[in-house]
Structure 1
Amino acid sequence: MSSEVPDPTDIEAASIESVRIEDEMEQSYIDYAMSVIAGRALPDVRDGLKPVHRRILYAMHELGVSSGSSHRKSSSIVGETMGDYHPHGDSAIYDTLVRMAQDFSMRYPLVDGQGNFGSMDGDPAAAPRYTEARMAPVAEELLEDIDKDTVDFSANYDDRLQEPDVLPAAFPNLLVNGSSGIAVGMSTNIPPHNLSEVIDATIELIDDPDATVEDLMDHIKGPDFPTGANIVGRDAVYSAYKTGRGRVRVRAEFEVEEWKNGRERIVVTELPFQENKARLVERIAEDVTEGELEGITDLRDESDRDGVRIVIECKRGANVEVVKNKLLESHLEKTFGIINLALVDGQPQVLSLKETLEEYVDHRREVVRRRSEYDLAEAEDRAHILEGRLKAVENAEDVVELIRDSEDRSAAKTNLQEAYEFSEEQAQHIVRMQLGSLTSMEAAEIESEYEEVQAEIERLTEILESESELLSVIKDELREIKDEYGDERRTSIIEDEGTVTHEDLIPEEEVVVVMTEDDYVKRMPIDDFDPQGRGGKGIIGADVKDDDRVSTVFRANTHDYLLCFTNQGQVYQLKTYEIPEMGRTARGKSAVNILDLDPGEDITAIVDTDAFGDDEYVTMVTRNGYVKRTAGEEFDNIRSTGIIAADLEEGDELVDVEVTDGSTDLVIATEGGMTIRFDEDEVRAMGRNARGVNGIKLTDGDAVAGLVATDEADGRALLTVTRNGYGKRTPLSEYRTQSRYGKGLIDIKTDDRNGPVATVKAVAADDHLVMMSERGQIVRTRVDEISTVGRNTMGVIVMDVEDGDAVASVDVLPAGSVAEANERADADAN
């Protein structure tokens, strides 16, 4: 026999198939492309995760590295993930783990990291042997009930283990945390959103399957980036939500500060999403060096653990507006391209906002159904066992005797089944029972547990038989997630000049607008503030800086046009929705991005132009006691830079503004507690550039606090509120009509207890008041809780103001608005 090894080239093939190389290349490339698309680069619409994210979280779940456990070395987690589920390079897995732990990359990080996990400057994370990680609490919500047959599993790459095809996902993670990736011939770029808003929109869709994208946008205002900043314009957001594609402009948050020696500086506090901070500073410095950016003398990065702070110092005399616009053009604004592409049933699909939420709701419907079936089977099995135990307890003596007389355990089981018609499972359980389980106390506990299990079976059966009950469970669980993890928006949505706005995208609602002396401004839904009893401290309405104070609070509708009058006699116009909406504890945004205010110019009065009618006037009063009326038509077509409302003498300031019709009485109140009432006709109508005429004679040291336009026919009383939080209501009949430019009558005592008068208002008994202190406390109370007393009295406490604080502003919420708000609240509740 020959020992030679046969030549492999001499082995004859079983069959040979001829193919065109073009066809083979095409098919192989398609197979590769689909592998990348479905197995690597695109997220699943149901849980919002790519395979590598899902495998890391599942590996941590299997390792027991939960939010309540100690941190585990990242290298250990990466090794387990790579060895059991993801047979790719360890660097790719670790990079994904790092990103899931970065609070500047993920809106709600899924990993709780310990150690150096990188920075906004582009610094890389430390090696995996130095860092530690565990699941974040919110990540556990994605895996909740995974052990209850809620999702399908498939074999891992080497058929040793099973891995989930998708996670149960108790919240819409695709929208909440977003996703980005480049596949073959396609890419996805889904921005993160606010958890509370997304859950509210999901519940809205469950309640109303016919809800439109516009309806959903009543809840989801737009993307909410972890780094904050501002989205410029709603149209691009609407387009992206409607079609699945769009480009939104994201602008850094910054403010212009006065600095030493009359110089100014621009301070950047929030950057667009995914902006490399260190590289941004370098680019600005390069442009300054090359002469592309003029007017800048110094540039510093003062950021720390508390947040971003980039300081750009301007030359003395430099036009800060020009510098600001140059920075916006080149550095402080970028475009985020939205491509809402995800896998639906394994196929890539571009989805609208509504379609994305519909797919998620379908997923949760299936998860809750399968979980309920699993729990029902478990409950029925337990009920079956308990039924056997109850029967055994009822026949305890005979059962014990039967078991004792049996040869062995197997015989005992058989005898029990024959004697009492126990099932095999029941008999197995009974022969393993301890004698102590046959006591009367144990029997009562078994009976109680059996009743509880029966109730659970009924509940689960109802869920499985009723679509409305199943959806109700989904909504309840979403609300629990919102209560546990929901927070306020970080990204504001602002309108740029010249931007066309779809007003129908903006919900029409009553809001409270807050302004501070340093020109921070924000708006909040008025429903955030429930009425409280008179004399309450209220709740936090704004987080003001140590050297800042609240100056104005007023009520408006989001669709109102507002005339904003400043202490320097200028007037500006804006829409209420152009003011950023923020939470109670937020400071607000700098008004420099909304109104072109000069240094030292503060908003002192707001007029809603919806109040204008034919032949109406804007009536103004200054701190030094001058009053003037100007026809409302002269305030049409106000430029963005504002127009003159009153020509003030040096040292005087505009204090208050009212809309009048020529038939009312004017009441001017002073800080010293004096008031004067005279007929409006005593003030002739005059142009915008006029100073006005004398309205009240002021004593030394006194100043005007406010203006009211009213008469006895409208049935309203005069409300006076002092800076120390005391106030009173007095019928207008108590203030006799005088001639203009008199000293007036004593209205309220302004001693040490009361302090000077903060403001006066005309109020009806069923109105509400919104009062705010200089330090940001806000309280809403009913007018009828404030006593009606005469002139020259002390008043009662209306707001409990802390030492060092003072009432800053008061606005009236008319009874009609209160009723409408209550109707909306009742409708929402139903």
Structure 2
Amino acid sequence: MGKDTLPPTDGGDSAVPVDLKKALEERYLAYALSTIMHRALPDVRDGMKPVHRRIMHTMRLLRLNPEQGFAKCARIVGDVMGKFHPHGDQSIYDALVRLAQPFMMRYPLVDGQGNFGNIDGDGAAAMRYTEARMTEVAAELLEGITEDAVDFRLTYNEEDEEPIVLPGAFPNLLCNGSSGIAVGMATSIPPHNAAEVCDAALALIDNPEATIDDLLEYIKGPDFPTGGVLVESKESIREAYHTGRGGFRVRARWHKEDQGRGGYQVVVTEIPYGVQKSRLIEKLAELIISKKLPLLDDVRDESAEDIRLVLVPKSRTVEAELMMESLFRLTDLESRFPLNMNVLSRGKVPGVLSVKEVLREWLDHRREVLLRRSRHRLAEIERRLEILAGYLIAYLNIDEVIRIIREEDEPKQEMMERFNLTDVQAEAILNMRLRALRKLEEFEIRTEHDKLAEEKQQIEGLLGSETKQWQTVRWEVQKVRQTFDPEKNPTLGKRRTSFGEASVHDLEDVQQAMIEREPITVILSEKGWIRAMKGHVTDLSSLSFKEGDSLKLSFHAQTTDKILLLSTGGKFLTLGADKLPGGRGHGDPVRIMVDLEADQDIVAAFPYDPERKLLLVSHAGNGFIVPEKEVLANTRKGKQVMNVKLPDEARFCIPVVGDTVAIVGENRKLLVFPADQIAEMTRGKGVRLQRYKDGGVGDIKTFNIADGLTWRDSADRVHSRSREELLEWIGDRAAAGRMVPKGFPRTGKFNG
């Protein structure tokens, strides 16, 4: 920018050139830090984000204690927004509503009155209709806040003060969990059982060197408010808690209800945490309509206060476990809750902590709160003792005190000089009521003085001994533990999420169960177009193909089958029969479904049978036997099984159905030899089956030698040759063979 293009600097407004990169970096960093610190990540000490902390603080100021009355949520939100949280009222109300929802919070912090939404995903009523107050858990979090337990800071407009963190007698971060998305980082912490967390904290106080394994003796895993069954392995849970990152698979809780006469229905009573019931039912209905759940006939919602989803199987022969396994795979009846223990350590530094580090920081915070409250109490006691000492002097010289007050112009100064009193003591004596001059008061003052002196000694002993401090913290944690004891308070304390193992059903069975079994006829054209016609069609004469195309092969299958294709390059490809295009058009090219090289073609196609063995043969006469289950491919790329190099290519793939192989070359020479001479392998080039000077394999067949060799001629007549009649063609593998017998088809094929 030239000097002449800059505006004149006459003291008025003027533009200043700024380095755009630097300006964007500074501004975006400021925004990112603001989001991380003041919106998205919870503080490890009280498990709260600023909006929740401000709601709790406001409710305390409004005296909405658990034993007192409710106030309109609009009043609470208004105070939070006006004094502490300069954001939209709806975002504050949403945060307040979540704190009151028993299906979102394991231990709700707000006691709501009115419509606060439900597990179906319906929202809460407007804030002018609902009322709220704090729960006992919230009271635990705020305990000691007026006793200098935590630091306060000025609010955004510097008119009020707000706490930087709450005293947090309740281990809120782990017990209620948290989730949030900041800039470049996120947090996701599931809820846990309070009694288990307290037990782990007590173990950590008793043994600061305790390992993650020691703590996991107490914290078994998350405890969701909606219950469910945790199907994560112990190793996975341990790894997640050790690193602070991982996830937990949670399944719905279900049981069979007998309907008589062998019939039954499945009833779901608990669904995974965070799943909306109405959306879950919609998804189930969609899958039933689209026939992706052939084992399920109907779904009904019979829920009232408790969840009750009724799943009706297609027939009484359907296996309930298999049906549920297919539902777990396709719907939110199984969901994964991520663990990312990304929190503000010491309220300042974002970081991913392990469970031990989270408990350690909470306990250190509790000790700090204890020390601050003790020092605050000590200062109060010392002030009170000072006043009581002044009172005693006044009682011992009561007549003189009264005279000074009645006659002196400045009684305060006179008393301070006469009795050697401090300013505080003289002020207290002057403010004393006349009724306090009765005779018994002296005894009461001495009693209070002795009690306070004793308490002062105890507090000084506490402040001077780290052992006593941890004993007191332990006692406080024990007290919280008793509040949430599963036996004393089963409603809040009892574990809701149980542990189980995922079903051991074969993956194949489950995938089959998710497809409706129907007969189909698979059609493959010469140019590689594939389709599936409904039913087992026998007359294919009416089939239409694209111009210049014709039928290559067809076979019968079921929609639950997998279709295996062998390419000329020796690669096996797998297609799901249910994924094949319908038979109304010309189908789709195989190449768009699987990765088939441009210079290769399909040699064979057939339904997958894991019990069979296949004989693979190349044009040059090499071959080997492979178990069919070894050729199944799980990806589009397929599985390379037969190694061939151009000009050689894979030519035949036939099931092994006998003990003998008959191979005929393009030179019309036939060789018969035992099948056990062919090597069995999972991948390779194979062994030589027949030797040729020119050309390659014409056709190949496997059969039982005891039954003889049969073939069909062009006139569809069947010819047979017994073992004795085949003697001159029987030899060893890799021989040249002899010219075919009389009556063998001119095409050189066993099927004419």
* RMSD (CA atoms): 1.8
Do the aligned partners of 1:343 and 1:349 also contact (CA within 8 Å) in 2? Answer: yes
The Cα of 1:457 is off from its aligned counterpart by 0.7
* Residues 595-606 of structure 1 mapped to structure 2, 5 A cutoff: none
Answer with 469-478 or 243-252: which moved more. Answer: 469-478
Q: Structure 2: how far apart are the matches of 1:22 and 1:63?
A: 47
Q: Structure 1: how far apart are the matches of 2:149 and 2:172?
A: 17
Q: Which residue of 2 aligns with 1:35?
A: 34
Do the aligned partners of 1:340 and 1:352 also contact (CA within 8 Å) in 2? Answer: yes
Any idea what SS the aligned residue of 1:440 has? Answer: coil
Is 1:336 matched up with 2:337?
Answer: yes
The Cα of 1:494 is off from its aligned counterpart by 2.0
Q: Which residue of 1 aligns with 2:702?
A: none
Q: Which residue of 2 aligns with 1:492?
A: 498
The Cα of 1:240 is off from its aligned counterpart by 1.3
The Cα of 1:396 is off from its aligned counterpart by 2.1
The Cα of 1:260 is off from its aligned counterpart by 3.1
The Cα of 1:250 is off from its aligned counterpart by 0.6
Answer with 383-392 or 101-110: which moved more. Answer: 383-392
The TM-score, its normalising length taken from structure 1, stands at 0.57
Q: Structure 2: how far apart are the matches of 1:329 and 1:9?
A: 70
The Cα of 1:15 is off from its aligned counterpart by 9.1
Instruction: Encode CA deviations 1:615-645: one digit per residue, 9 max, x unaligned.
Output: xxxxxxxxxxxxxxxxxxxxxxxxxxxxxxx
Q: Which residue of 1 aligns with 2:312?
A: 313
Residue identity matched to 1:368 = L
Any idea what SS the aligned residue of 1:259 has? Answer: strand
Q: Which residue of 2 aligns with 1:46?
A: 45
When residues 14 and 282 of structure 1 are mapped into structure 2, their CA distance, relative to the original with a 3 A threshold, is: closer
Instruction: Encode CA deviations 1:301-355: one digit per residue, 9 max, x unaligned.
Output: 11111x2111112223223232121112222211111000101141210000000
The Cα of 1:390 is off from its aligned counterpart by 1.4
Residue identity matched to 2:82 = G
When residues 237 and 13 of structure 1 are mapped into structure 2, their CA distance, relative to the original with a 3 A threshold, is: farther
Q: Structure 1: how far apart are the matches of 2:477 and 2:432?
A: 42
Residue identity matched to 2:335 = K
Q: Structure 2: how far apart are the matches of 1:300 and 1:389?
A: 77
Q: Which residue of 2 aligns with 1:70?
A: 69
Q: Structure 2: how far apart are the matches of 1:298 and 1:497?
A: 23
Q: Structure 2: how far apart are the matches of 1:443 and 1:12?
A: 76
Q: Structure 1: how far apart are the matches of 2:341 and 2:80?
A: 28
Q: Which residue of 2 aligns with 1:397?
A: 399
Give 5+ residue unaligned stretches, structure 1.
1-7, 500-830
Q: Structure 2: how far apart are the matches of 1:53 and 1:348?
A: 18
The Cα of 1:66 is off from its aligned counterpart by 1.6
The Cα of 1:466 is off from its aligned counterpart by 0.8
The Cα of 1:437 is off from its aligned counterpart by 2.2
Do the aligned partners of 2:462 and 2:469 also contact (CA within 8 Å) in 1? Answer: yes
The Cα of 1:433 is off from its aligned counterpart by 1.9
The Cα of 1:357 is off from its aligned counterpart by 0.7
Q: Which residue of 1 aligns with 2:285?
A: 285
Do the aligned partners of 2:247 and 2:337 also contact (CA within 8 Å) in 1? Answer: yes
* Residues 528-543 of structure 1 mapped to structure 2, 5 A cutoff: none
Is 1:242 matched up with 2:242?
Answer: yes
Do the aligned partners of 1:258 and 1:265 also contact (CA within 8 Å) in 2? Answer: yes
Any idea what SS the aligned residue of 2:139 has? Answer: helix
Instruction: Encode CA deviations 1:484-516: one digit per residue, 9 max, x unaligned.
Output: 2341111112234679xxxxxxxxxxxxxxxxx
Instruction: Encode CA deviations 1:661-709: one digit per residue, 9 max, x unaligned.
Output: xxxxxxxxxxxxxxxxxxxxxxxxxxxxxxxxxxxxxxxxxxxxxxxxx
Residue identity matched to 1:393 = Y
The Cα of 1:10 is off from its aligned counterpart by 7.0
Instruction: Encode CA deviations 1:745-782: one digit per residue, 9 max, x unaligned.
Output: xxxxxxxxxxxxxxxxxxxxxxxxxxxxxxxxxxxxxx
Q: Structure 2: how far apart are the matches of 1:16 and 1:91?
A: 38
Residue identity matched to 2:165 = V
The Cα of 1:415 is off from its aligned counterpart by 1.3
Paired residues in the alignment total: 488
Do the aligned partners of 1:138 and 1:485 also contact (CA within 8 Å) in 2? Answer: no
When residues 261 and 9 of structure 1 are mapped into structure 2, their CA distance, relative to the original with a 3 A threshold, is: farther
Q: Structure 1: how far apart are the matches of 2:484 and 2:66?
A: 14
Is 1:299 matched up with 2:305?
Answer: no
The Cα of 1:234 is off from its aligned counterpart by 2.1
The Cα of 1:55 is off from its aligned counterpart by 0.6
Instruction: Encode CA deviations 1:230-266: one digit per residue, 9 max, x unaligned.
Output: 1112222211110000111111111122113321111
Do the aligned partners of 2:137 and 2:170 also contact (CA within 8 Å) in 1? Answer: no
Any idea what SS the aligned residue of 2:479 has? Answer: helix
Any idea what SS the aligned residue of 1:105 has? Answer: coil
Do the aligned partners of 2:288 and 2:298 also contact (CA within 8 Å) in 1? Answer: no
Q: Structure 2: how far apart are the matches of 1:157 and 1:354?
A: 35
Instruction: Encode CA deviations 1:402-456: one digit per residue, 9 max, x unaligned.
Output: 333323xxx1111111111111111111122234323331111111111111111
Give 5+ residue unaligned stretches, structure 2.
1-6, 486-492, 506-752
Any idea what SS the aligned residue of 1:227 has? Answer: coil
Any idea what SS the aligned residue of 2:448 has? Answer: helix
Do the aligned partners of 2:325 and 2:503 also contact (CA within 8 Å) in 1? Answer: no
The Cα of 1:20 is off from its aligned counterpart by 2.2
Residue identity matched to 1:392 = A
The Cα of 1:59 is off from its aligned counterpart by 1.0
Q: Structure 2: how far apart are the matches of 1:330 and 1:14?
A: 63
Q: Which residue of 2 aligns with 1:385?
A: 387
Q: Structure 1: how far apart are the matches of 2:33 and 2:155?
A: 18
Q: Which residue of 1 aligns with 2:215?
A: 216
Q: Which residue of 2 aligns with 1:157?
A: 156
Do the aligned partners of 1:437 and 1:443 also contact (CA within 8 Å) in 2? Answer: no
Q: Structure 1: how far apart are the matches of 2:182 and 2:448?
A: 54
The Cα of 1:36 is off from its aligned counterpart by 0.5
Do the aligned partners of 1:199 and 1:482 also contact (CA within 8 Å) in 2? Answer: yes
Q: Which residue of 2 aligns with 1:103?
A: 102
Do the aligned partners of 1:402 and 1:416 also contact (CA within 8 Å) in 2? Answer: yes
Q: Structure 1: how far apart are the matches of 2:466 and 2:385?
A: 25
When residues 113 and 9 of structure 1 are mapped into structure 2, their CA distance, relative to the original with a 3 A threshold, is: farther
Q: Which residue of 2 aligns with 1:560?
A: none
Q: Which residue of 2 aligns with 1:376?
A: 378
Q: Which residue of 1 aligns with 2:166?
A: 167
When residues 321 and 86 of structure 1 are mapped into structure 2, their CA distance, relative to the original with a 3 A threshold, is: same
Q: Which residue of 2 aligns with 1:196?
A: 195
Residue identity matched to 2:501 = E
Do the aligned partners of 1:42 and 1:342 also contact (CA within 8 Å) in 2? Answer: yes
Q: Structure 1: how far apart are the matches of 2:285 and 2:15?
A: 67
The Cα of 1:14 is off from its aligned counterpart by 9.2
Larger Rg: 2
Is 1:419 matched up with 2:421?
Answer: no
Q: Which runs of 4+ in 1 moved over 6 A?
A: 13-16
Q: Which residue of 2 aligns with 1:112?
A: 111
